[in-house]
Structure 1
């Protein structure tokens, strides 16, 4: 019973993470790329307000649950898959924390009304990092879903 509840929770958490990252890649990023720099900075400040602490909580909770399931489920293949899924979710967290978030924090300091002349557009690099964490999240969802079916 506990395993079943944890399996549902980890699939929901990993699926929520993947869906949010996919939505950003599919819709938000193209819109931000189409904006002139001052509009981009203004919009980024509005868009980022509700991600913290919501997404870190979901990502880290899903990771912890996957780790617990890697030790709890009786099927050895499912244990391995939960471990791989947890590692992929750790990668999502590391990329977010050490790549995307620092760029976001730096951009939030910029005044859209007084754009610096030497401003360097971070959007292409941010997209590379975001794509990387989105791929990790999709892979995590796939292996965690597979583990849940086996478990």
Structure 2
């Protein structure tokens, strides 16, 4: 690939991939925080469970792939990019993207599974509404994603 595109071309493609991946992640999570979460909070429990099952269907297989691929691209860029500052920034972006993944998989996904296991027509009387906790974890991963995008942007500019 290096012979066809040259080192600069490969670095440009990888930098673009890091920007697209972190931008998609930050954009999706920001959109969910800004619009979807308030809408879910406005619903009664049965409608919330029903809607939650519908909303997450296409995010679940797609977002982990985007987040983890972006983290890998950032790791590669941290290893091969010339210059200490851009390399360090790509490493930081990789850690931030991995943070998004960790928060998602260890915090939000278990809550999602519990909600999806509920029958909307038979919400238990002692049901603990997971929305406040889910929102806190979601806001954390949104902040991590926006930081990753920002760090990737600075790193790309410096390369």
- 2:158 — aligned with what? 150
- 1:61 — aligned with what? 69
Within-5 A mapping of 1:96-107: 96-107=104-115
- 1:73 — aligned with what? 81
Number of residue equivalences: 151
Give the TM-score, by structure 2 length: 0.94
Q: 1:86 aligns with which of 63, 86, 94?
A: 94
Within-5 A mapping of 1:1-150: 1-150=9-158
From the CA coordinates, give the structure whose radius of gyration is larger: 2
Give the TM-score, by structure 1 length: 0.99
Q: CA deviation at 1:52?
A: 2.1
Mapped to 1, the partners of 2:124 and 2:95 lie a distance apart of 39
- Deviant stretches of 4+, over 3 Å: none
Q: Which runs of 5+ in 2 are unaligned?
A: 1-8
- Secondary structure of 1:35's counterpart equals coil
Q: CA deviation at 1:101?
A: 0.4
What does the per-residue CA deviation read over 1:2-35, in whole Å, with 9 as the maximum and x for residues that have no partner?
1110000110000000000000000000000000
Q: In angstroms, what is the RMSD of aligned CA positions?
A: 0.5
Q: Which runs of 5+ in 1 are unaligned?
A: none
Q: CA deviation at 1:38?
A: 0.4
- Secondary structure of 2:126's counterpart equals coil
What does the per-residue CA deviation read over 1:96-137, in whole Å, with 9 as the maximum and x for residues that have no partner?
000000000000010001111111000000000000000000
